[in-house]
């Protein structure tokens, strides 16, 4: 990884903030928080900035802005209607700049999070607001969230990357590729998609990039996946400033507060023991309501404390050959895509058209929908069918059929595991998630 590129502006450089934390040996923790009004969003930024943790800020956008319906966002603001995020285009660059200054967040690194397959308007708005960081990608913000043809998303993201790179020195872009559908996507595909989007960003002028990975169903498997992600990032993005960002589990969250906090702490422990630089947190309120500012601050502080006190056990290590197999699968996928065409803008859609990339349970028209996955008896995510992807071995069988009851069981696996451990004091030590043990129990 190269040194972070500096910049000047009303907010601090996002890349420099992460680099400084890395040099200090601290994990950066970040919320996914977004509120519609200037007053609410400003208060949220102020609270995150003041949390007892190494934080960066987030401005998460609303659904109207994500789909480019800025007129509806403006009307909602005028009528005082609820929005599920901050409409940065409707508010405008000047208002957003003033909000950041009024919140006392000048110099505080802030990222805009949005979910749009066609992000150019959002990118221009965040630049006008003096911000330098956002996230997403041509695949990861197209297939899960939209019906936009992949070729259109690729073209829109290519232009957006170029505008960001041209207008903001040191601009930072995070791939959401490691979070596809939130759950039930085997780790090798998450790693490959994150690396491929990183390559796409680099080809379109960005020199500060982060690669994502979402916590899945098995701590040892996630350790192997994060190692593979770092290995491939070093090979393909070695001349850029890059870091890794981990997401606390993105699927069905535990309904109990102790279970939810245990899962959050487990993700922080995973980040700490793998050398991951940044963690996107979830709160104990996720299963019940939209989290408040207080919920977010509590989650940030709990995660930071869990990372500071993290320990490891022999059970955390991948099994013999597991890491090598995962790395090999991810590398084969990346190479298969890059061999299709020297222009990655053409290679990515071609890879999905041929089924070389295929996201399980993703219903987008450009996804082959031949791949299926399952959770094995040890909690690992495995391929049930890899379709036409370059996966040489499919552990656990080849049956692609998954019934509704089995699918619901898989979707609830993590929730049930952590809630059971939280609710049953008599749970055996072997069945208790590591995050639910005390430090004294972990030898």
Pairing of strands 241-247, 278-280: parallel
Nearest to 9 by CA among 165, 124, 208, 168: 168
Q: In this predicted structure, what is the pLDDT of residue 406?
A: 87
pLDDT band at residue 437 under the 50/70/90 scheme: very low
pLDDT tens-place string over residues 323-360: 999 999 999 999 999 999 999 999 999 999 999 999 99
Q: Quickly list DSSP for 403-418.
A: -HHHHHHHHTHHHHHH
Q: In this predicted structure, what is the pLDDT of residue 392?
A: 82
Rg (CA), the chain: 21
Q: How far apart are CA 309 and CA 176, in angstroms?
A: 28
**Tokens 């957006």, residue?**
160
Across 404-418, average pLDDT: 91
pLDDT tens-place string over residues 16-34: 999 999 999 999 999 999 9
Q: Tell me the H-state helices in 275-374.
A: 293-308, 322-338, 344-354
Across 132-138, average pLDDT: 98
pLDDT band at residue 422 under the 50/70/90 scheme: confident
Q: In this predicted structure, what is the pLDDT of residue 395?
A: 54
On the question of pLDDT at 398 being above 50, the answer is no
**Residue 72 neighbours by CB under 8 Å, 6+ apart:** 64
Domains in the chain, CATH or no CATH each: 13-316 (3.20.20.240)
The pLDDT > 70 percentage for the chain reads: 92
Across 10-15, average pLDDT: 85
Across 173-178, average pLDDT: 98
On the question of pLDDT at 394 being above 80, the answer is no
On the question of pLDDT at 322 being above 60, the answer is yes
pLDDT band at residue 427 under the 50/70/90 scheme: low
CA distances (Å), 343 to each of 198, 201, 334, in order?
14, 12, 14
pLDDT tens-place string over residues 366-391: 999 999 999 999 999 999 999 999 99
Q: In this predicted structure, what is the pLDDT of residue 433?
A: 46
């Amino acid at each position: 990884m190269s040194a972070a590129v500096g910049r000047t502006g009303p907010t601090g450089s996002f890349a420099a903030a992460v680099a400084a934390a890395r040099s200090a040996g601290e994990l950066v923790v970040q919320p996914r928080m977004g509120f519609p009004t200037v007053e609410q969003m400003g208060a949220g930024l102020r609270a995150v900035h003041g949390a007892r943790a190494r934080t960066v800020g987030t401005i998460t956008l609303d659904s109207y802005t994500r789909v480019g319906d800025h007129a509806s966002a403006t009307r909602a603001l005028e009528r005082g209607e609820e929005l599920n995020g901050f409409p940065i285009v409707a508010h405008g660059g000047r208002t957003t700049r003033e909000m950041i200054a009024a919140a006392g967040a000048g110099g505080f690194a802030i990222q805009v999070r949005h979910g749009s397959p066609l992000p150019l308007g959002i990118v221009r708005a965040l630049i006008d607001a003096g911000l330098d960081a956002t996230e997403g990608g041509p695949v990861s913000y197209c297939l899960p969230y939209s019906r936009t043809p992949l070729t259109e998303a690729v073209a829109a993201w290519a232009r957006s990357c170029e505008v960001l790179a041209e207008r903001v020195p040191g601009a930072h872009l995070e791939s959401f590729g490691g979070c596809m559908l939130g759950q039930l996507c085997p780790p090798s595909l998450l790693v490959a998609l994150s690396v491929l989007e990183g390559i796409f960003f680099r080809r379109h002028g960005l020199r500060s990039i982060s690669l994502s990975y979402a916590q899945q169903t098995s701590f040892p498997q996630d350790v192997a996946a994060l190692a593979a992600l770092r290995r491939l990032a070093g090979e393909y993005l070695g001349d850029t400033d890059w870091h890794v960002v981990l997401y606390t589990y993105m699927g069905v969250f535990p309904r109990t507060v102790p279970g939810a906090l245990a899962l959050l702490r487990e993700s922080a422990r995973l980040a700490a023991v793998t050398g991951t630089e940044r963690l996107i947190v979830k709160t104990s309120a996720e299963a019940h309501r939209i989290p408040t500012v207080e919920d977010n601050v509590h989650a940030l502080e709990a995660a930071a404390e869990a990372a500071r006190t993290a320990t490891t056990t022999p059970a955390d290590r991948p099994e013999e050959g597991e890491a090598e197999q995962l790395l090999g699968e991810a590398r084969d996928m990346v190479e298969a895509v890059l061999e299709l065409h020297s222009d990655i803008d053409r290679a990515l859609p071609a890879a999905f058209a041929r089924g070389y990339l295929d996201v399980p349970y993703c219903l987008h028209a450009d996804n082959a929908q031949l791949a299926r996955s399952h959770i094995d008896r040890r909690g690992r995510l495995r391929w049930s069918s890899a379709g036409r992807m370059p996966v040489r071995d499919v552990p656990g069988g080849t049956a692609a059929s998954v019934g509704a009851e089995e699918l619901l069981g898989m979707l609830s696996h993590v929730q049930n595991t952590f809630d059971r451990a939280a609710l049953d004091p008599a749970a055996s030590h072997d069945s208790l998630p590591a995050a639910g043990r005390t430090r004294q129990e972990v030898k």
